[in-house]
Structures are given as C-alpha cells and as structure tokens.
Amino acid sequence: METVHCQAASGAYDITVGKGSWQKISEFTGRKLLVRDGNVPNPGIEADGEIVLTPGEQYKTFSAVESICRAAAGLHLTRKDRFIALGGGVTGDLTGFAAAIYMRGVHFIQIPTTLLAMVDASVGGKTAADLPEGKNLIGAFHQPDAVLIDPGFLKTLSFTDLTCGLAEVVKTAVILDGELFEKLEQAGESTILAPDFDTLYPELVKRCCQLKAQVVEADEKELGLRAILNYGHTFGHAVEQKSNFSIPHGAAVAIGMNVAGTLAVTLGSWSADDARRQLELLKKLHLPVTVPVSFSSSELLEVMRSDKKNDASGIRLVLPEKIGKAQTVSGIPEQQMIEALEMCHD
C-alpha cells in the first residue's frame, strides 16, 4: 500500500492506495453507518447500520441526503461516530454532504469504487447534491477522515465506467502534469483499456491523488487555484444536464474539454497542436468529443449561466494554456462560447 497525505486547512488525512485498503476501516473507532451504492456489494465491511442508495446521477438529490441522515438518527449516531461511503462519486458526494450537516458535522470515510471517484471525487472534501436547476448547487466543504482506495474494485467496472474515469485522468494531466499526459499518450490502447489493475492503474490513481491533494492544500475552498480542477466541467455539466444524465459525467467532461480546448485555440491562448493531442488522446480512450447535434448551443449556454463557479463578469471557464497548465477566465463573450459549441457539434 502507498499513502498520499492531504494537509487541508480544515483537517489532514491520508489517502491509502493498495489492495485491501478498505480493510483499514477496522482501525477507526466509533459506531459506523455504511452508505452503499446499490451496484456495489459489501466486501465485508462491518457496520452498525447500512443504507443502500439507488445508483445514478438523477438520484443525487437532497431527499437522498435526508434518507442518510434519518438512517443515522434511527441508529442514534453521535458526533463521535462515522459515515462510510462505499461507491462512486454520487455516493461519496451524498454521504459527505449528509456527514457535513448531520448534527452539524460528523466524521466520514471515503471508499471509492469507480476510477472517477478514485482520481477525483473522493479527494478534497467537496460534497453535494443536485437541484433541478443545476448540478451540485447545494453542498458543503467537509473533509473525510480517510480515503481508502483499493484498485481491485476497478475490475468490476463496465467499459463505459472505466473510460469515464479516464476522462478525469486526462483532465488532471492537461491542467497539472505534462509528463502524465505524455505517459497516457505513449501507453498502448490495450494497456489502458484492458489493463492490469495491479500496476498501471495504481500509479495513475496515486499520481492524480497527489496532484489534487496539492491543489486542495493550497486552496481548500476554491477561492482561486482549485477552480482549475473544473476544466471541461462547465460545458460538460451543461451537456450532462441537457441529456437528463443519459450522458455520464466523465463522458460529458470529455466533450467539455474538447469544447474548452477549441475555444482556447480560437482565443489564441492554446496551440492548435496541443488541442489536437488532447482530441486524439480522448478518442484513443473511446470517449465522446462532440456535442449531440440535437443540443441547442443557446440552451446549453442557459444552463451554464447557472453554474456555481460564475462571478460578476459572467460565465467562468477554465481554459488550457499548454499541456500541463491551465487558467481560469471570465468575461468571454457568450457568442464566442456559442461558436465553440457549434464547432464541436457532431
């Protein structure tokens, strides 16, 4: 097992990556409520109570958060006790949000079971639920006590779930690590998509966790630097929501990265060659890169106007400067965003 330490301002914790890491749950004291994704069987975690969530982004609602809190209340859990999230990003977000508000804050532990959750959602303390008006519009910053990552869970993922997680790996590489991007470029398609989960994937997960931990340590509450982690997400969330979540998060982020990259090229802030490299890598990983033709650009822009990252100057975007570096930008004319969307329609 290997450990990445995250020294967030509100609390420090370890991210453990390795086979059987979930078994470290026994080292934590107090009573436990296991919150489990319905697609994920319990590998043997002993808890005082268990609640099973219906999987899917469409069920990432405040009513799900309430159900977790009521289950905890039914067990008479106190602030000394813990919630355990076993599942993907939706389960982790909902459990963390419930932990943040139950009795004004209780402990929780993340045990991510999808690649997307391992490399992104489980680290950093962002917790949330969706509203009909937009994704993640209600939530809290609430750091976990620990993140326990067992790459063995990846063996159960569908091809789509695996590639969706790889979209977040590509995102991390584009904005923070040119060497990681090159490693993904150089890896054979079969190596990535039919992988040995004991070698390459633990390395990818650990590196993404290291990079995210560094950003969280510098800016826990997303007042500056942390916003770059939303690369591809503003366009991507709009696509995801417009599809009624039939397009999964990672796939939508891949589309969003292509749109953001296209926009950056038209603005002259990113080279066409880097945009080509990003596009080719996303395609190699069998990720979608085009906006469905039935999605109106003006309607997508309307969804983007409700994005929680916006500021007084309008829609706030993350745009790449070069492979391994990105910046947040506000005040871009909406017409230019529409043109970038149109250029990426299938």
Catalytic residue positions? 104, 126, 168, 212, 222, 226, 230, 233, 237, 249
* Residues 60/63/64/66 CA torsion (nearest 10 deg): 140
- Euclidean distance between CA atoms 114 and 169, whole angstroms: 12
Q: Are 96 and 109 in contact (CB under 8 A)?
A: no
What 243-246 contacts at long range (C-beta under 8 Å, 24+ apart), as own/partner pairs, is: 243/292, 243/295, 244/58, 245/56, 245/57, 245/58
Show the DSSP H helices in the chain as ranges: 62-74, 89-101, 115-116, 159-176, 178-186, 189-193, 200-218, 233-242, 249-267, 272-284, 297-304, 334-343
Residue 318 has which token pair? 């993350």
Q: 150-164 burial string, b = 16+ CB within 10 Å, else e?
A: bbbbbeebeeebbbb
Q: Are 223 and 312 in contact (CB under 8 A)?
A: no
Q: Are 9 and 27 in contact (CB under 8 A)?
A: no
